Amino acid sequence: MIKKLLTIFLTLGIISLAVADPGMKKGTPDIKSISKLAFNEDGILFLGDSEGGNVFAIDLNDTESSDFEEGLTVEDLESEIAGMLGTTAANVLIHDMAVNPISRNAYLSVSRGRAKWTSRWQLPNELSSADVLIKVSPQGEFSEVKLENVEFSSVSLPNPIGTDKEHQWKKGTRLRVDAITDLIYSDGSIYVAGLSNEEFAASMWIAPYPFKEDVRTSTLEIYHGAHGEYETHAPIRTFLPYELNSKNHIMAAYLCTPLVTFETDKLGSQKHVKGRTVAEFGAGNYPLDMVLYQNNGKDYVLMSNSQLPLLIFDPADVESFEGEITTEVEGYIAGVKYTPRSGSGVQELEDFNDKFILATQRMPSGKLALVSFPKAWLRP
């Protein structure tokens, strides 16, 4: 009887077995750039700060459960935000998006920097540092979140890429903006991809949460079939944790879109880790985001891209792929198959609820919309 009541209370959110963060304190975190966002299952926001080389855990006190199962559409997202910030839609730049799995509120990191965009190879963090956090409710209500007088804790990344190093082929771009290119909470730890100051700069940091100072670092090496060479300086652009063949893995995508897997146990225990390249999805493209979702009870991954359409692939195909790509690929496409899906201009992707994936999408009109893709539509 007690066990049954405990299960009911946990389901309803009346009680929680979440581990409190003893390192949290109340105050204003010293955030220099809101580069990347992620949530854990308890509604704690993790904020990656590339400029500061830190990851913050912030309690937004956003734990009211929502059973909202509809889609959300905002036709002119930048104009809505511009009105709040006293600027123009043409100057609003969205850097990242994350959805609180409890409240279904979407959070956007924003700067006044889009007017600086001059090249298709530029990414938001290369143009400016996001300094505004915007909340959008499931019903489409907007508000600015002030990160002042909040409960927070933080951890510093050991040896992030230096602030004075410049990009090799993007003149005028500092590599420091790629100190954090993506982060995800999984199984009690924060996984942070980016560039370190090591000889092999591409790196993954793993920080157990609640934070301590025992952050583990591995430098990464991959074979890039489109380039025909091994690479150690290109950072992961987007990644997901997933169990493959009974072992925890990271599925990661890079510039020009190789898909690579890393065994999580190796990332936590080895200084230098070589990934297994299982696919080449197409050159001349930045993979922007990946989200894991279910369609008819089966797992799929949806990837958004700067130049390619939306791509859907099956983790089971990654699991069953034999060998790895270790030679140059003609035509730039090889390995695990994928399904292209119409979705030009899609940028950020987030699991919204049981029925929909939330996305930002640049429309033919030039406006940036917040749109909802039915998961039932997203099938190979």
In a domain, 16, yes or no: no
Which three-class secondary structure state does DSSP give residue 76?
Answer: coil
Residue 22 covered by a domain: no
Q: With contact defined as beta carbons under 8 Å apart, do 231 and 202 qualify?
A: yes
pLDDT in tens, the chain (380 residues): 333 333 334 444 444 445 579 889 999 999 999 999 999 999 999 999 999 999 999 999 999 999 999 999 999 999 999 999 999 999 999 999 999 999 999 999 999 999 998 888 899 999 999 999 999 999 999 999 999 999 999 999 999 999 998 888 888 889 999 999 999 999 999 999 999 999 999 999 999 999 987 999 999 999 999 999 999 999 999 999 999 999 999 999 999 999 999 999 999 899 999 999 999 999 999 999 999 999 999 999 999 999 999 999 999 999 999 999 999 999 999 999 999 998 899 999 999 999 999 999 999 999 999 999 999 999 88
In a domain, 17, yes or no: no
- 27 assigned to some structural domain: no
The answer to whether 84 and 24 are in contact (CB under 8 A) is: no
Which secondary-structure segment (H or E) carries 315? helix 315-320
26 in a domain, yes or no?
Answer: no
Residue 357 resides in a domain: yes
**12 belongs to a structural domain:** no
pLDDT at 279: 98
Supply the pLDDT for residue 278.
98
Q: Provide the pLDDT for residue 254.
A: 98
CATH of the domain at 370: 2.120.10
Q: Which domain holds residue 228?
A: 32-377
The rounded Cα 29 to chain-centroid distance in angstroms is 21
Counted domains in the chain: 1
Residue 85 falls inside a structural domain:
yes
pLDDT of residue 1: 38
Residues 6+ apart with CB under 8 A from 69: 353, 354, 355
- Degrees, nearest 5: CA angle 56-209-61: 55
Q: In angstroms, what CA-CA distances link 197 with 76, 158, 366? A: 40, 9, 39
Residue-level pLDDT at 120: 86
